[in-house]
Structure 1
Amino acid sequence: MIGSEIELPVVDGVLSGVDFGGRGEGVLLVHGSGHNAAAWGDVASRLVGECHPIAIDLRGHGQTRLDSTGPEQYWRDIGRVVTALGWDRPVLVGHSTGGYAVTAATAGGLVQPAALCIVDGVVLDGRGASLAEHAAARTTEAADRLRTMFRYGWEANDEQMHAYAEQCAREAGGDWLNAGARRELVEEVTRRSFLHRGHRWVRRPAIEEIATVTAVDPDAEVFPSVEVYDRLTCPMTIVLAEHGFYASRRDEVRAVVDAAPGRRLIDIGSNHNIPMTRPADLAAIILDLVRDRATASAGNAG
């Protein structure tokens, strides 16, 4: 994988990440649940000629050793990360859960981005329906599904971990999330999802991480419901997968976009895993935002 391993300070420790290099404006890349910084490799390789992309491993994911002890830490960390990088008005890009993370960090006033790029990671329900959905994610049945589908929390030895990563790469073409992704990238992301603890490798996130971040406060000011978009004033681009999690609710996504100026909706013929399966298309969208920022900065300087 291109890039250099880095650590970025947050309030109670550090987040691991990958600095892909490049020059120019900062672009922070935030992965979704179950993924990690490596998922952005094929996007970042197309960005470094015009900007400086950095990807992080959220709490409970990848090589970040910190776990969440509350439902908001993972998105509140983004403000600390941007401060540590010394970036002024970066472009924030988030996929899936990372899409809500960058939205919430902005809505909470922790960072002032030049633009948001939300990649198949929107919240469309009202507060009540969202609470019910989050409660459903903490059931025993939901936990069993995650263990079965993704092996969250699985402990493996060296041989088992490597064999599993190779299996995921080998079977990527027929997988509902990885079909269309480069096999080597699938293997890199899978390997990075295992954290070495003692003599074992632990597949992250653990079920406990999912339970913690979904135990949202019903009275939270910044809440994962559609009203959160009312708190945003910066430009926002939503990238919607035509075969993704929100495809059947496109009209609701359109309503979010139409509710304020400076918002765009872009459809991509993809499954949910846009960063890994359509990296060239996504990189082009991000570069448009970077160029828009440069144009606006030049205009202000003039």
Structure 2
Amino acid sequence: MTLQTLPRSSTRSGAAYFDAGSGDETVVLVHGVGMRSEAWGPQIDRLARYCRVLAVDLPGHGSSAPLSGPPHLRHFVAWLRDVIEELAPGPVNIAGHSMGAMIAGGIAVEAAPLVRRVALLNGVHRRSEAARRAVIARADEIATGAFDREAPLARWFSADEGASPACVLARELLACVDREGYAAAYRAFAAGDDVYADCWPRVTCPALFLTGDGDMNSTPEMARAMAAAAPRGKAVVVEGHRHMVNLTAPDAVNECLADWLTWKTAAETGEGNDDRSQSPA
């Protein structure tokens, strides 16, 4: 799993995206801080067989222009809303990883009519005070320009995964990320875990919350808490994996996403809830 650059197109505002596949469903994929669209490689390959897939580069990442203004999660959410409205009007399915999960959750709150289903992979929810201090310190360090680009790998991968294709790819992506774009997104990530934390009871679309059982920052407890709060939420914990579970356990994640795309909305069932999307895994 080495870096193979995907061909990009750009929106009017300079957001870069990779467009693949076709079908009745459109899936928008939003990567995490320091990554870019290529981090979704296994999911693009699978989903594009039967869906339209739009994988976007976050502002200041990959080929996307940076955001103007202060780095706040709500600005990233507004950015993605503009991208969706330009590229895929009508309800879409949104899957986000890490920082992308925060943005996906924000879209489900701020622009519910645009969202058919939402999936948060390795999402963060109400960090502990110690975790909050650590991530803010990391954001401060990145802002200085003197930071270790490989430091996240120790959290994302186990010691025996250091030479794995997934870790090699993540290392390559971190090595080439723009420092200012990385710093801005990380600042929003550091302060964003509770921006929409109280809003899950208002998110009525089917909602998947998936993480690895070894993820120290996007913990199973966080996934279960969000799923319990969302009327149509389901938590899935992949055993034996950490933060980059979509790369380290691609088959399991792809199966979960394929199943997620079959969950019926309330409008389709004529009911307030879908039993399948409520049962925690």
Structure 1 and Structure 2 fold alike (TM over 0.5):
yes
Which residue is equivalent to 1:115?
117
SS of alignment partner, residue 96 of structure 2: strand
Structure 1 segment 201-216 matched on structure 2, within 5 A: 202=178, 205-211=181-187, 214=190
Once residues 171 and 139 of structure 2 are traced to their aligned partners in structure 1, the CA distance between those partners, rounded to angstroms, is: 28
Alignment CA distance shift 1:179-1:265 (3 Å): farther
**Alpha-carbon shift at residue 21 of structure 1 (Å):** 2.4
Q: Which runs of 5 or more structure 2 residues have no equivalent in the other structure?
A: 271-281
Aligned to 2:259: 288
Q: 1:179 to 1:104 in 2, by over 3 A?
A: farther
Counterpart of 2:229? 259
Does structure 1 residue 5 correspond to structure 2 residue 4?
Answer: no
- Matched residue, 1:41: 41
Task: State TM-score, norm by structure 2.
Answer: 0.76
Counterparts of 1:275 and 1:146, CA distance in 2: 29
Give the aligned residue type for 1:97.
M
Superposed displacement of residue 261, structure 1: 3.1
| Residues 112 and 80 (structure 1), Cα distance of their counterparts in 2 relative to 1, 3 Å cut | same
Q: Which amino acid aligns with 2:186?
A: I
Q: 2:207 touches 2:230 (CA, 8 Å); kept in 1?
A: no
Cα distance change on mapping 1:184 and 1:50 into 2, 3 Å: farther
Q: Which residue of 1 aligns with 2:247?
A: 276
Decide whether the 8 Å contact of 1:82 with 1:111 is kept in 2: no
Whichever of the two has the greater Rg, that structure is: 1
Quick one: structure 1 residues 91 and 150, their matched pair in 2 at CA, closer, same or farther if it must change by over 3 Å? same
Q: Which residue of 2 aligns with 1:164?
A: none
TM-score (norm 1): 0.71
**Bigger Cα displacement from structure 2, 252-261 vs 131-140:** 131-140
Distance (whole Å) between structure 2 residues aligned to residue 179 and residue 121 of structure 1 = 25
Distance 1:151 1:239, change over 3 A: closer
Between the two proteins, the alignment pairs up a number of residues equal to: 262
Q: Distance in 2 between matches of 1:139 and 1:203?
A: 12
Higher strand share: 1
The answer on 1:228 being equivalent to 2:228 is no
Contact 2:34 2:182 in 1 (8 A): no
Quick one: structure 1 residues 98 and 209, their matched pair in 2 at CA, closer, same or farther if it must change by over 3 Å? closer
Structure 1, residues 254-278: CA drift from partner, whole Å, max 9, x if none? Answer: 2332234321111112110122222
**Unaligned residue ranges in structure 1 (runs of 5+):** 153-167, 195-201, 217-221
Aligned partners of 2:9 and 2:16 also within 8 Å: yes
Contact 1:17 1:37 in 2 (8 A): yes
- 1:135 shift after superposition: 4.9
Query: Counterpart of 2:276?
Result: none
Report how far residue 182 of structure 1 moved: 4.5
Q: Are 1:50 and 2:20 counterparts?
A: no
Q: Counterpart of 1:271 in 2: which secondary structure? A: coil
The residue that corresponds to 1:67 in the other structure is 67
Question: What is the root-mean-square deviation of aligned Cα atoms in Å?
Answer: 3.8
Within a 5 Å distance, the mapping from 1:93-242 to structure 2 comes to 93-109=95-111, 112-125=114-127, 135-140=136-141, 147-150=147-150, 180-182=164-166, 185-186=169-170, 189=173, 193-194=176-177, 202=178, 205-211=181-187, 214=190, 224=195, 226-242=197-213
- Residues 25 and 92, structure 2, Cα contact 8 Å, conserved in 1: yes
**What is the deviation of 1:28?**
0.2
Q: Using a 3 Å threshold, how does the CA distance of structure 1 residues 81 and 124 change in structure 2: closer, same or farther?
A: same
In the other structure, the counterpart of 1:81 is 83
> Equivalents in 1 of 2:151, 2:227: separation in Å?
36
Q: Is the 8 A contact 2:60 2:181 kept in 1?
A: yes
How far does the alpha carbon of each residue in 1:87-142 deviate from its partner, in whole angstroms, 9 at most, with x for none?
4211100000100101012211265311111001132259x9998677545434x6
Q: Residues 128-158 of structure 1, C-alpha deviation per residue, up to 9 Å, x if partnerless?
A: 9998677545434x65798213499xxxxxx
